[in-house]
Each structure stands twice: as structure tokens, then as C-alpha cells.
Structure 1
Amino acid sequence: MGQKLLVNSASGNLLKELTDSLETCDRFYFGVAFVNFSGVQLLLDTLKEAEKRGIQGKIMTSTYLNFTDPKALERLKAFDHIDLRVFVTDQQTGFHTKAYIFEYEESYKIIIGSSNVTQSALKSNVEWNVEIISKKDGQFVEEVLAEYEQLWQRSTQATAQFLHEYEELYRNIERMQRTANLVYEKAEYIVQNSMQRRAIENLTRLRDLNEKKALVVAATGTGKTYMAAFDVQQVRPVKLLFLVHREDILQKAKETFETLLPNIQRSFGVLTGTRKDWGADYLFANIRTLANHYEHFSPDEFDYIIVDEAHHATAPQYEKVLAWFQPKFMLGMTATPERSDQLSVFELFDHNVALEVRLHEALEDDIVAPFHYFGITDIAEIDLQQVRLEDTAELAKKLQVHKRVDFIMEQMNFYGNDGQFRKGLGFCVNREHAAFMAEEFTKRGIPSLYLSGDDNGETRAEAIQALEDEKSPIEFLFTVDIFNEGVDIPSVNQVLMLRPTQSPIVFIQQLGRGLRKHSGKQFLTVLDFIGNHAKSYLIAVALNGQRYYDKESLKVAVATGFAHVPGATHIQMDEISQKQILEQIDQESFYSMAYLKEQYMEFKKVRHGKPPYKLMDYYTYDGAPDPVKFIQKEGSYLSFLAKVETDDNIRLLLHDQVWAKVYKELSKFLPLKRPHEASLYLALMHQKELSWEEASYHIRHWVEETAAESVRHAIKNIANTFLDQREKDRFPALAEWEGEKVIRTSILEELLQNKEYTSYLTDLLEYGLHRYEREFGKTDYGIPFFKLHEQYQMRDAALLSNASVTHSSFRGSGLLRNDKDLFLFVDLHKEADTEERLLYKDEILSPERVQWESPNNMAQHSGRGQSIIRHKELGNKLHLFVRKYKHIEGNVTEPFIYLGELEVESWQNEKPVMFHMKLHHRIPPQLYRELTEKV
């Protein structure tokens, strides 16, 4: 009746097929070589619903290679509607079957392939599974069922006795493997992960450019110390200084380097309050000690200096030490690159970011543990509709309900956690709430402690140690914000979100506390108890993790279970929570001043009430609001600040009309579409003129290679050559091209006399460049400088194709041209009150084919018509840009998404001409859904 290939991709996976089938079948039969808890947990809700519907099922697995997890068997055994059996293998007989059979009234759906019941096999591994739907009386069905029944009869019932004996065997094997693994902790067996490999490639590139400093930004637990050791292994400096803020890190770092560099023939030593190995080649030093003894060393003593926790390096103690030394190369490493009042860590390292890894990149690179997130509707008795979320006392009072504790524990027991020992963190509203939860959990047999900002470092360290220790009875720590960042508890395998989410930043920080990889866990379980407060949708913003989002893309992400999130991570919201969040997204106005001000105030709260005066303040936090939205709302970031802060200094800054005009016009560059112009402006902040070679060098700092034509275009662009007179009047030129040199204009010279002006202009350019680098790296995208599936406005096509006409002429038409490049701009859904809605039939037909109707005055034989019809013959390139809607909220104009080049396959009709075209690149599944589905 039907057949198809099932693979794991962004457009679907085996898990989705299994859950859909379990929701509709009459009976089910699984036969898989092994199951583990990571896979079973993903099926729990669907199996529970099947149990409610009275759907009976059989699940058969095996002891083959002892891969099956006893916890998975125990959990399946707990369902009354599942008959569970285990095929016991021996040396002669293995068990490789992977089959999923679903019975319907008149047919069977049979899936046979390569996937077992594990999180990776169901979601992310390269797996091939074939699905066949056949009538009940078919020969194939009869053969499959007969084979299944024969194996079923040979299998052993999963009795309590059997499960007990198998668990004992499994744990013994686990212990033996742990012991055996200690033997292989040798340098030759430790290989670079993808993050470390990319960082080292970029560090090598920066050194080739004669750069002396670089910074790596990555979360705790992603292997920054190993990365530094791998780079030292490659560079082989004669003398090395590794500088740390805390002594406990110092010893671990030294051990890592000694493990990875066993044959480097260098001596290793430490410099602390109690021990001073002055003569060591590779010295690991505590900053407090070194600050008192740095003059003991000559300034060029060390070839290579590594600054761990580099965000501290802007402090005075570090400043004098780093000012003394003149190494050949200095590497900074940090998880939280917050700026001080004086200097940003990016400035300190000459804006050379070798690598930056945020949560979604870390998941994609498999350098943190995947997580299984379950959004669970809170109990009906918890009514938060009238509670201000800032009123923590009232909020805590509402949440401190015994029935809620029972519900939380019921959900914990249902979903379980990975690993033999439960190690959990619960994030609470305030100290009273945390104390209440710890007391209630302890009463109910889960020994717990609570911590808040009032507790000193020693108390915190003892509590963390108690949680980490497998022999300790402590299973949970309930905390108030203090574990948002910088705390490393690798064994945590369950996180409870027990308070309403107000800040995506805090949500990501709290989530991150459980993502450190650990030998005792494959994944983190996250249970989020979602109340009926008005800001539930912020959970979706936090989990989405995409650079750009609007109402439509956010709704598609929620409705598809955030299918774009990489790897084996699983995000699931129950039906009530999902409906509530989708309704809130619909009702919220993401461009209203009220919403933007609220985002700003929440961000300020994360910064302990300190106003984010600079754009770079936003750059340092994963999940921070996008300040470009603030700029778009008010014209510049300072204009926005003037609306939300009562700081008279900001208003005074804006009184200078020339300065305000320059700052506002440069703000329009954000987010940067290419780094060329901003890199030249930034260079002119520090030197009065640039030669052609210097201009090229500064651009190459941000782009690997760039054509001379693009350098020339960028220089002319900052000299306002391509602006029409109206635009020139609005934006005075800051540079001019004179005799093969780029020179500051008198306007820029005058502005730079003011330190505050200089600081804010530098910040704007730094933010644009660092954000660009984080999102696109240093790839040269050629000419036109377009990136597949990124967002653009019409006028960007002029800049990025090195057009010699004014930007303002690139607007107002669906077909634009620059020499051999033709740009097609398409609105997929026309405005309801325009004639376009009736006239044009533009449509995405499939992930690789589109239908486009030309402007209605274009004929096939006309110059424009022939330039498209004969585009290959004439050497013309067709570029397609689409957007779902011109407007989603009010009169805010949505950007277009670049779908790449395409070629004409057929055409028909006159005025307009209808074209069928094929894209050079398939539209990715998530984007295809966003563009074609309405939620």
C-alpha cells in the first residue's frame, strides 16, 4: 500500500514517526536489539497516552553486548499495557533486530531498519529505516509477524527477579569498564573535539597575520584548557606562563598540560603563596602571587602567556602584570566576557576572537550533554495571572503549596533521570521558596539542601561537594539565581525550573549548569513547570536560540517541537502549555515600546541593576535581547536609552546634532551585512589615515581574503561616493579617498576629540564586527557577498554586489539588476488590501523549485524578459530573495531571505511572464516549514 525511507534530519526523525504511530494504532509490537533510558524517556508521554486509550503493546529487546539499560527495562515494565520480554543472547547467538510494528483495523505499518531505542538512534544518528504499510492478509506481513512471534516465544519474561539479576550484571560490567578506561587516559588517546580544532585553526591564522593576542569564548566544560594545551603542543614555546584567578584551577590546568605534553622536554612548576618554582619552563601562576613578584621576571621572559578566566584581566591587579610582560603571543579564555567600566576584554585582546561557542553551537558540536526538556502545565491551584513577577514574596507564597510539591515529585518519578544516582538542581523564586522546597523534599525521602546569595563561599562549596559525592545522601540543591553562571557541577542530571521564566539569559544560564559532560550521564532531564502567567512565551524565546525570529518563525518552532535544535536534544511541551505559549506569541507585539522596554529592564536586572550603556554589554550574554531592535525603534541605541533611563548625560550627548546624526547613520549599518566598511571606520578611530595596504589589512582582519574590487568599493562607500545628494546631506562623510590614502575628514577629527563620542562610536563598530564574526566567521563570500538563508533588505543588494549606483535606487521593484547579477524579490503572501494579492502567483512549489511571475509590464521578447529567459547563455546570474509577509506586526517592514541562485526551467504567458525555476540549493527543512506553513 505504501513505503518510504525514514532518516533523522531537521525535517523529521524516527521518534516523530513512532509517536505519531503510537497515537493512532490499535496495537504495537517492538523488537529491538537494545533500549536505553535516553530513548525510553522520549516515548514516555506517548506510551502513557496509549495506556489511557487502552492500546496494548509488546516490547522485545535483548541482552546483546549488555547494551540494554536496566533502568529502561524497569521504566517500561511499570506500564500495565506493555508486555515486556528480553531475548537472552550468548556467544553463539546475537540479536540485531530493529523492527517497529503498528496494527490498524485493516493494515499494518512495519518499520525495519537500523535504529534501536536510544536518543541518538531516534533523533540524530545517521540511520536508515524503511516503513512499509500493507494490508493484513499480505504475505510480507504474515512473514514478519511469524518471525516476531517465533522470537517472542524464545524470549524471557521481564520478571522482577530477572531484572534484579540483569541489573547486578550490568553494574558489575559498568564498574569494570570504568576501571579499564583509566588505563587509556594517555595523551595519544586524547583527540581534539570540533571546538578545539576550529580554535587552533583560527589561532594559527591570526598568528600568520602577525597578531599577538587572541581570545576564546566558550562555556565552562567545553574543553578550553585542553584546547590551550593542544595549541601549546603545536607552537612549542620555550617558556610558558599560565595565569589563573583561582588556585584550584591552577593545579587542574597543570595536570592537563602534563598529560597532553608528556614528551615536550620542559619543566612544569607553580607560583602560589606556598610554593614558588621560579625556574620552571612552564609556570602556572596565581595572579595574587604574581602581582607581588612579576618584576622577578624579565618582560620578555615568556614566549606564550595564557590568561584563564580572562574577563578578570581588565582588573587593576591583572593590568599591571600584563603591562609588564611582552610575550610573542597571549591567549585569553573566558566563559563570560563581561566588560568592566574601563575596558572590555575584547579590547584587551585586540578584538581577535579565535572562537566563540554559544549553547546551540555547543550542542551541535557535541561538546556539552544533550538535554531532554519537558514543559509541564502547573497544577490548577497555582494561579499567577494577577501576580507581578517582580513581587517575589507574593510569587513564593503562591508557589509554596504542598500539592505542588507532590505534583513535582510525581513528574520527577514519571520522567526519571539518567544515571544511577539522582543529582538535581531546583531554581526557586527566593530564599523562602528554596528553603520550603528543600524541607519538603527531605520530608518525602529526597535529602536536599538550599542555597542563596546570603550563603558564604565555604557553605556553597560544602553543599556542592555533598551533591557531587556519590556516597552522600544529598540528591538536590535548591537555589536562588546563584548558580546561573560560573558554577561547575558535572554530575547534575536533573534540573527543575520552579519559577516563572522572566529572562531568556537566566533560563540559558540555569540550563547550562546541567550540561557539563560526565561519565555517569548521557543527557540532562529538564522539567519546567509552566504557570498561567503572561510571560510564558519567553521560554520559547530562550529555547529557540536563533539569531532572528519573528512571530511566525517562533510559532513554527513551538509547533514543531523546536526541530531545528541540533543533536539528540529533545524539547517537548504538553498540549496546554504549547497552546498557551502560541496564544501569547500571537498577542504580544514584539516591536512595541512596552515590550522592548520590558526586555531592556529584564536585561538590566540580570546585570544587577547596572544599565547596559554599551552595545557590547549585550554581546557578552547568551540569550540577551537584540539591541538592533532598540535601534530600529528609536533610530539609535542612545536615543532608546534616553527613553528608558533618567540619565541626563545621555540627553546631553544627543544635543550635539552633528554627533547624533553620525551616530544614528552608523547605527543603520547594524546588523552588518559585510564587515568591510565597519573595519575601516574602526581603524580610523585609531589612526588618521590608511594606505591601500593598511585598508586591505584591516578588512582581512575580519574576512580571510577579499577581492581588491571589494576593498575599493568599501573605501568609496565610507567616502559617501554612492550616496545621492539627499543622503549626503543627512550623513556627512567621515573619510575621503585622497591619493591612494583613506583620510579622516575634519568632521570625524573633531568628533574624536571628545572621549565619550569616541567611546560610543568605537562600541557601535566593535559590536557590529564581533556580532558579524560570531554569526558568519571569516569566510569570504565573494561578489555578491550574499550568505545563503540570511536576511536582507533590497538596498543591501547594491552594497553587497559592489554596485556603482546609489543605494536608494535599489528599492521599490521586485526585479533589480547590477551588471550580470539579477535580483528577484518576492512576497509569498501578498497584502490583503492590495491588487498584488490577486495579480501575482509567486509560490514555493517544493524545497528546490519555485514559481515566479514577472512585473506585469514585462514581455518575453523585452530586454528584461530575454535577460532572464536566456540567462545562462548571456552569463547572467539570478538571485532569489523571499519573505513570507511584507508586514507581520503593524508597519514594520520584514526583511527578505536569500535562497541563493536559481535557473529557469520553463516559462509561459505574456505580461506578466510566469517562470518555473530550480534553486541551486535546497531550502533547509526548518526554513521551508517557516516559509510555507501557517501556524
Structure 2
Amino acid sequence: MIEEKLIVNSERGNLLTELTKSMSECVSFYFSVAFINFSGLQLLLDPIKEAADRGVKGKIITSTYLNFTDAKALEKLKEFCNVDLKVFVTDKELGFHTKAYIFEYSDSYKVIIGSSNITQSALKSNIEWNVEIISKHDANFIKDVLKEYDYLWNTSVDADADFIKRYEDFLKNIQGSGWRKQLIYENSEYIVPNRMQKKATENLERLRYYGEKKALVIAATGTGKTYMSAFDVKRFKPKKLLFVVHREEILRKAKETFEKLLPNEGYTFGLLTGNQKQKNVDFVFSTNLSINNCLYEFDREEFDYIIIDEAHHATSSTYQRILEYFNPKFTLGMTATPERSDSYNVFDLFDNNVALEVRLHDALEDELVIPFHYFGITDIDAVDLSDVSIDNIAEVTKRLKVNERVDFIIEKMNFYDFDGEKRKCLGFCASIEHARYMSDEFNNRGFKSVYLYGEDSSEKRTQYINRLENDQDELEFIFTVDIFNEGVDIPSVNTVLMLRPTNSPIIFIQQLGRGLRKHANKNFLTVLDFIGNHNKTFLIALALNGSRYYDKESLKVAIATGFANIPGCTHIQMDKISQERILAQIDQENFNSLKYLKEEYYEFKQMNQGRIPYLLIDYLKFDGAPDPTKFISKEKSYLHFLAKVEKEEELKRLLSYEPFEAIIKELSSKLPLKRVYDFAIIKYLLDHDEINLQQAKNEILKLVKHVDEDSIIHAFEFLNQDYYDRLQVVNIPKIFSYQNGLVVKTELLNNILQNDVFRQYIEDIVSYGIFRYEREYREEYYGVPHFKLYEQYQMVDAALLSNYRKTHSSFRGSGLVVNGKEFFLYIDLHKEENIKDSINYKDKFIDPGHFQWQSVNNTSQHTERGQDLVRNKQRGVNLHLFVRKYKEIDRGKTEPYIYIGKGNSIKYEGNKPITVLLELEHQIPPVLYTELTEKV
């Protein structure tokens, strides 16, 4: 019997997963591939080692075809005693194209033949077709494959040390000639924006069209913000432009970028710095200090367009003078980290308009940064952190300073190796003392190392960074505490060592980000994380998962599937002990307990330089920050949560004023937003007494591409409390009134807004709601009902999002709620065992494209309701499916549902209840399907 299947790299899986699984089960293996790069081999190092530990041997043939095989990969393979390695030497007439993976089992062979070589892209992300065939030992096909393999093996040469050295020398000799490189003539007319740049420029254009004069773009270092700004300038066509940044080296690079992208537009370009005073040009590139020194030599309207790079510095006094003096048609801020100082908020400086925000997962998906290969390694037993607080830095340092651990780190570092000729590594340590110790011990073992900390001069930092980047310098390691978390750019770093316990997802992501900058001499970043037995190990999973929302199930599935939701060639692998340790911690932790929320808050406060984060938008600064809506859920508003954890009298005094307290509770209850229309209207009304339909449409279209008029009217009615139940109307103050086609701000709200402190907190809730909506829903129009696939919703949300014109709180209770022809099916996939229902519901996925649903037990096919369900498409009824795995995961927290789109009845049976087979209009993505259907 022959089994066959097609393997492609997609969300459903990839060739790497198939090879890893096959190697863990086979009794021997045989590979024949044209190319082996180290980028792909590193992903197979553990499977090869585990095969060796089981006594499994293998043969590998590769080739010199087109000189694409890495000599480094050959050297690495020679370290394995269970692998025999040969190389087929090609010439001009004879090529070598095989891509075959053969696995022998006790009674069968598995053969995978297709298009994939051993490179990270071929194994994980390229468009590749590979056919897998499983057949008995005596099948003719298997005999032919093995015969051909033996022929290739016998005509290939042994990859001994002498051969590899000759091949390596040959590659080095041709490298300088550029023979291996693909030369591209880069004509500026044909440089096109990447996906991030295109989205940003479209959003900026829309904001300007609707009258906005300022905007902010948030994107990680190395993602192309300067190019993006040049593309927008090309579209805007200013007569005169000012580009401001605090560092001269950034300024010069920016000028070069603009000159490259705008060569034939007739513009002149000049620098305004300490040494150069080129003021009379069209595009002035200036440091903040230089433009300050000659500010009044320019007219206030001199520049049409001003760009503030590294805009988190714009809260300083020099930038404030620039922004206050000039009156351009448009101002663009660009930053990787939207920090805020005590006195100013960077979002406010740009009128709270965020044109685009690119976080780590977005950057990986858009290939704005390089992939990383993360290996989570269980630390040695001699390092015991189980009974110590990871905030006790002195004790943690003492326990990490173990010579045996240094040897273990070096052993793993040598095993996994790195991409490139020279290792360029940042090691993140627990303290200065720990960094000094690691540097000393590495030097003692022959690895050139230094350590840096916050009080070292910038000259010293620059010197060490330059030495690390210099391929001829022997320096390989810089050990540090937190100074490279952000803001320092070392593009050629190819290795990161996580040597301290992770106590913050934010810091973890910042440290990871130090090595993700694209560089000509690296294809990926190697990350080695030494995972101890401290009680916050699970925070690593939060950082790597990168999801907007998480619960125990999604985290556990992510860990079990090797974080399959991570895009591209990025690879995340944890050893079994670390996986089990993290899974056990997740099971024990209650993510919604006050204890856990306080710990999250205090950790974030520490990241905020010890300052109380008074505003919700403070949580937008960092990738990996806690979700403050969890704090709101616990205490009805963020200020109430702050007052509880900080015990600050001033906050308690503010909240003692009942009208203010009631208003912030009311606005906070709407977070996170599921549609932005209501808050767009509220934002306008904070500065105006009333708003009409056209003005509301104008404000909404600053944020989204389209809006229908009925939804705007429904938003007006909703703000008028038309759909509140009696209890809500009694307890919630009326802050807006809808009459004669206008929404009017009430006197109560107007009076509250006269107080600057009250106003600041109200504006913060509104701004946070809009920013977060933009991040999660982008500028898309989702129609009516306003549902985005695979987002989370509560039952009552469907009333708002389908323009339901009765009391919204009536959307609860039954698993089926109806608004006209829109039917909403709410489904718990796993029923609680203690509920004794007369019906054993059979709601389940049949496969990613089909779902079996059972109606409540009093529904008959012969009723109108029954006919709507079983013949929904013919009767124009839309069946919207919302599913959740469990009703409750953490104690006291009801889980939301995930919207999986519409389904259509294709088969049905029974009465009271009716069992319906629904064909889904959108197949469930593999990662989500796994999460919803598998138990971990």
C-alpha cells in the first residue's frame, strides 16, 4: 500500500516540521540536496543530535553546484558522528538539482522529493512543493530510489577536512569579485514602497484629506521609516521641507535617501549642522540644536512639510521651540519607541493621529527585519532560582555566577553556532557584576569579551560597538545589563544570549530586537535563551506569542506547536523540560487575579522609569506591554485600579467627585472598541458643542476607508442612550443628547471638561480607544454587522455592531440571538461537566471548513425559526458563528467568543433539537483550528 501527500510551506505546516517528525521516528535517514546553507542546517541541529542519541545514523549528499552550499554548514555536519557526508562536485556541463529526503522505518520507507533544499526559506517560508510517499521495503519505487541514491553516493567525494578547506578558500577568493552576487541596477524611478510604507503613506494622505495637519508613525528601527517619509514627501510635493533629528549620522543618511528617491524633481538638498550652514535650499536637513540657533532667520510659514525623526525626543525644549515656532501645512513624527516625559506626551504633540504602528510580528510578517532562530534551553541544575524573587538582583546574580554554567553556555553556543564569518554577540545579564563576571570568564576561555553598563561614556560605547562590528577585530562579545534594550543600533549583531531570568515581556522583545536589523552579512539572528526554574518563566511565552489577546489555551497551544503563528522563516524551539515547566506555570497562574494584575502593573511601572503610568496611552509605548483593559475590567476604570494599587490620595479625591467618576466609568466600559464611530464622534465633541451627520462622517473617515450613514445614525442614537436598559439609564449620567439631527454635548460634560485634570483623563480614554482600534482593525470597513474575522466578541457586541434598535443588554442568555435576518450563533465547544442539561449538545468542528451545530432543544424544522436555520441561504438569513473553547478558563473571568464568519446549512436532521451541518464561508486558519480543537 502506498500513501501520498503534498507538503507545502503554509499556515498548515512546513517541510521543517515534517523532517523533524520523521527524524524522531526513523531508524536511518538519507538526504540528497543541491544546497545546504547554515540558515537551514541550524534548524535541523537538534533533530540530528537527537537521532544520534537514539543511535540513528544517516547519510547526506550535497553539491558544489553554483557554489551555494556553505563551507560552514559542511564543517558543522562533520561534528556529528552519526552522519556520513559526501559532496557531488559539479562542473560547467553537469549540474546537480536533487532535493530528496529518505527515511527508513522497520517495515517501510518514507521518501520526500520536491523543490526544497536545506535553507531556512526552503524549509519554512518559500513557495515549495514536496511530495511525500510512504511504501513497503520491497516496492519497486523504493528500490529505484535507493539504487539511484547509491549511485550518487558512490560518485560523490568524501567531505573531509582537506576538501572543506579547499572549498572554503575557493569561496573566499570569488567572494570579492561579486561573482556569487546578483547585481541589480537600482534606478530610483523603480524603487517601490514596501507594504508598511504603502500603508503609512495611504493613511497620511487620508488624514490630510480630512483636514489633519499632524501625524505620528511608530515602527521599529530598520523598518524603513525614512524611505516611507520620502515616499510621502514625493506624493505631497512641498515647496520647502525641514527634516529634524538630533544625530548628524542619521541626518546624512536621511539626506542621501531623499536624494536617491527624488533625483529628477528639481529639488536642492542641504545640511544645517555645526559645520555646514546650507539654509537656502529646498530641503533642509538639520539637527535640532542647529535649527534652534537660527530659528528666527526663517519665516514661520517657510516650510510646507516638517519631519521630526526619533519623535520621542520631541518632548524636549529644543524640539518644542521648533514645533511652536513653525506653521507648516503638515508635520510628520517618526519613532520606534513613543516614550513620554513628565511634562509632554508625544501622542499629543502630533494631535493623537497615529498613521501607522508596526510591532515585532508585523515587522516579521512584512520582512522589514530579519528572521530569528530562538532556542529555549533548560538551564543547568546547579542554578536554582525556584526560591528567590527575580527582583532580588544581588541574590540572582550570586546564583548565576557559576563556572559550570559558563561552560554550558559556551557548549550550547558552539553547538548552535551563528550566521556569518565572525560572531558578533550581545549577552544580556542580570546586573553589572554579572556582566563583568561573564566577560572575565569568557576572556579566560579565549573568547574576546567586554562589558558595558549605563554609566560608561558614549565614547566608550561607540568604541566597543565599532570593534564588535569590525570583522578584523577579535572582539566577539559585549555583555551588558539594560543599556542595549532600545535605541542602540548594531546592525551586524548575529547572536543574542539571554542570560538573565525574563521578568518582563517588554524587555525581552527589546533585547531580541537588538539583533533584528537587516545587514548584508547575515540572513538570520541566533537567540539562545537559558531558561531557569524561576516562577515567572511563562513570561517568555507571552513575549514570543505576540498576540493582541491571550488566555491559557492560546498560550499553551502556541508552546505545543512551536509558536506556529510566527510568520516567515523565524523559528522558535524550546526543549521539553522548558516546555513542561512553562505549561505547568500557565496552568497554575490566574491571569485575571488582582495579585497577577498588580504584578503586571508594577513591572510596567518599573519600565516606565518608576513613574506612575497615569494614562492608558502609556501602555502603547512598548511592544509587550500589559493590556490595561484587564485593569479596567477589574475595577470599572483605570483610575480606580490606580487608586487601589497606588493608594494615592489625589486620585481618590478626583474619584470622589461623582459626575467625573460616573463619566470615566461609562467611557471605560466601551473599551476595547469594536467599532470606532462612537469615539470618533466623542473626540470631536470634546472640542465642539455639537456635531451633525456630515461632520461625523468626516471625523470617522479620518480613521476608516468607508462608513454607511445608518451606522452613524445608530451611533448617534447609542450616544443618546436609546438602547440602555432601565438600570443603565438610572445609574449612568447622560453626557450626550441627540435631537434635530445633531448630537449635542450636555451641560454636565461641558462643566467637567472645564477642569484640565478631568479633561486630561477623559481625553486619554478616548485617545486610547481610537489608537487601539486602529492597531487591531486598521482602516478597513467591515460592513453591517461590523465583524472582523477571528476577533473576540461578547454576546452584547452583536447588538451594537448590527445596528440593533432595541435594548442591547437583551443580547444574552440563549445560544441564538436574532436581529432581523442576522442570526448570531454563540457556541461553547466544551461544555462544563457539572451542568446537567437535558441535551448533550453536539457542537463541533468537522474540519476547518465545516461545523456541526445543534439548536436549542425546543426548535422544530416545521417552525419559521427552524426553516430559517435549515434553509438559511434560500431565505436570505445570515448565520454568524461565534465560538469559544471554554466558558471560563481563569476563575471569575468569562471568556469572549471568536467570530469565525458566516456558515450555510448544507445538511440537517432531527427535531427539538435540529442538528445542522454548516459549510463555513471562510476556512479556519490552521493555527486557530488547532487552538480551538486540541487539548494541551
TM-score range, shorter chain: over 0.9
Q: Which runs of 5+ in 1 are unaligned?
A: none
Q: Is the 8 A contact 1:830 1:836 kept in 2?
A: no
Distance 2:838 2:887 in 1: 12
Identify which range, 58-67 or 226-235, moves more after superposition. 226-235
Distance 2:7 2:276 in 1: 61
What's 1:13 paired with? 14
Q: Establish whether residue 149 from structure 1 lines up as the match of residue 168 from structure 2.
A: no
Q: For 1:502-521, list aligned pairs within 5 A.
A: 502-521=503-522
Q: Establish whether residue 624 from structure 1 lines up as the match of residue 625 from structure 2.
A: yes
Letter in 2 for 1:219: A
Shift in CA distance, 289/706, structure 1 to aligned 2, threshold 3 Å? same
Q: Establish whether residue 893 from structure 1 lines up as the match of residue 871 from structure 2.
A: no
Distance 2:147 2:755 in 1: 85
Q: Taking structure 2 as the reference length, what is the TM-score of the superposition?
A: 0.98
What's 1:449 paired with? 450
- Deviation, 1:893, is 0.7
Letter in 1 for 2:553: E
Distance 1:423 1:434 in 2: 16
Letter in 2 for 1:165: R
Distance 1:204 1:233 in 2: 12
Q: For 1:518-537, list aligned pairs within 5 A.
A: 518-537=519-538
- Deviation, 1:186, is 5.2
Distance 1:319 1:288 in 2: 12
Distance 2:609 2:270 in 1: 39
Shift in CA distance, 427/141, structure 1 to aligned 2, threshold 3 Å? same
Q: Which runs of 5+ in 2 are unaligned?
A: none
Deviation string 1:557-600 (CA, Å, 9 cap, x unpaired) is 01111011000000000111111000000011111111110011
Q: Establish whether residue 245 from structure 1 lines up as the match of residue 213 from structure 2.
A: no
Q: For 1:156-305, list aligned pairs within 5 A.
A: 156-177=157-178, 184=185, 187-188=188-189, 190-305=191-306
Q: For 1:12-161, list aligned pairs within 5 A.
A: 12-161=13-162
Distance 2:715 2:783 in 1: 14
Q: Establish whether residue 433 from structure 1 lines up as the match of residue 434 from structure 2.
A: yes
What's 1:755 paired with? 756
Identify which range, 609-618 or 307-316, moves more after superposition. 307-316
What's 2:844 paired with? 843
Letter in 1 for 2:461: R
Q: For 1:339-358, list aligned pairs within 5 A.
A: 339-358=340-359
Identify which range, 441-450 or 486-495, moves more after superposition. 441-450
Identify which range, 504-513 or 686-695, moves more after superposition. 686-695
Distance 1:839 1:245 in 2: 67
What's 1:646 paired with? 647
Q: Is the 8 A contact 1:377 1:531 kept in 2?
A: yes
Distance 2:474 2:108 in 1: 52
What's 1:554 paired with? 555
Identify which range, 859-868 or 179-188, moves more after superposition. 179-188
Distance 1:444 1:106 in 2: 49
What's 1:460 paired with? 461
* Matched position secondary structure for 2:884: strand
What's 2:325 paired with? 324
* Matched position secondary structure for 2:573: strand
Identify which range, 689-698 or 353-362, moves more after superposition. 689-698
Distance 1:658 1:828 in 2: 42
* Matched position secondary structure for 1:202: helix
Q: Establish whether residue 811 from structure 1 lines up as the match of residue 812 from structure 2.
A: yes
Q: Is the 8 A contact 1:10 1:925 kept in 2?
A: yes
- Deviation, 1:181, is 7.2
Q: Establish whether residue 827 from structure 1 lines up as the match of residue 828 from structure 2.
A: yes
* Matched position secondary structure for 2:874: helix
What's 1:802 paired with? 803
Identity of aligned residues (%): 57
Q: Establish whether residue 678 from structure 1 lines up as the match of residue 679 from structure 2.
A: yes
Q: Is the 8 A contact 1:243 1:307 kept in 2?
A: yes
Distance 1:848 1:785 in 2: 22
- Deviation, 1:428, is 0.4
Q: Is the 8 A contact 1:854 1:912 kept in 2?
A: yes
* Matched position secondary structure for 1:548: coil
Q: Is the 8 A contact 1:60 1:85 kept in 2?
A: yes
Distance 1:347 1:680 in 2: 18
What's 1:792 paired with? 793
Q: For 1:464-483, list aligned pairs within 5 A.
A: 464-483=465-484
- Deviation, 1:499, is 0.2
Q: Establish whether residue 907 from structure 1 lines up as the match of residue 932 from structure 2.
A: no
Q: Is the 8 A contact 1:64 1:94 kept in 2?
A: yes
Deviation string 1:494-518 (CA, Å, 9 cap, x unpaired) is 0000000000000000000000010
Identify which range, 183-192 or 804-813, moves more after superposition. 183-192
Deviation string 1:400-453 (CA, Å, 9 cap, x unpaired) is 111111000000000000011100000001111001111111111110110111
| Aligned-pair Cα RMSD in Å | 1.4
* Matched position secondary structure for 1:765: helix
Distance 2:876 2:263 in 1: 58
What's 2:597 paired with? 596
Q: Is the 8 A contact 1:829 1:837 kept in 2?
A: no
Deviation string 1:142-180 (CA, Å, 9 cap, x unpaired) is 111111111111111101111011111222333222997
- Deviation, 1:345, is 2.0
Distance 1:341 1:440 in 2: 41
What's 1:871 paired with? 872
Letter in 1 for 2:130: N
Q: Is the 8 A contact 1:783 1:800 kept in 2?
A: yes
Distance 2:184 2:821 in 1: 63
- Deviation, 1:730, is 1.9
Distance 1:252 1:312 in 2: 19
Distance 2:733 2:808 in 1: 16
Letter in 1 for 2:73: A
What's 1:633 paired with? 634
What's 2:746 paired with? 745
Identify which range, 26-35 or 271-280, moves more after superposition. 271-280
- Deviation, 1:182, is 8.4
Q: Is the 8 A contact 2:174 2:180 kept in 1?
A: no
Q: Is the 8 A contact 1:831 1:837 kept in 2?
A: no
Distance 1:894 1:428 in 2: 38
- Deviation, 1:7, is 1.0
Q: Is the 8 A contact 2:240 2:303 kept in 1?
A: yes
Shift in CA distance, 720/183, structure 1 to aligned 2, threshold 3 Å? closer
Q: Is the 8 A contact 1:853 1:912 kept in 2?
A: yes
What's 1:712 paired with? 713
Distance 2:103 2:256 in 1: 54
Number of equivalences:
935
* Matched position secondary structure for 1:221: coil
- Deviation, 1:183, is 7.8
What's 2:364 paired with? 363
Q: Is the 8 A contact 2:685 2:691 kept in 1?
A: yes
Deviation string 1:39-60 (CA, Å, 9 cap, x unpaired) is 1000111100111111110000
What's 2:577 paired with? 576
Distance 1:759 1:9 in 2: 46
- Deviation, 1:337, is 0.8
- Deviation, 1:189, is 6.0
Letter in 1 for 2:603: E
What's 2:611 paired with? 610
Letter in 2 for 1:919: L
What's 1:765 paired with? 766
- Deviation, 1:325, is 1.3
* Matched position secondary structure for 1:686: coil
Deviation string 1:189-212 (CA, Å, 9 cap, x unpaired) is 644222122222222222333332
Q: Is the 8 A contact 1:688 1:744 kept in 2?
A: yes
Distance 1:118 1:348 in 2: 46
Q: Is the 8 A contact 2:206 2:702 kept in 1?
A: no
Shift in CA distance, 447/570, structure 1 to aligned 2, threshold 3 Å? same
Distance 1:735 1:529 in 2: 55
- Deviation, 1:214, is 1.9
Q: Is the 8 A contact 1:736 1:743 kept in 2?
A: yes
- Deviation, 1:726, is 1.2
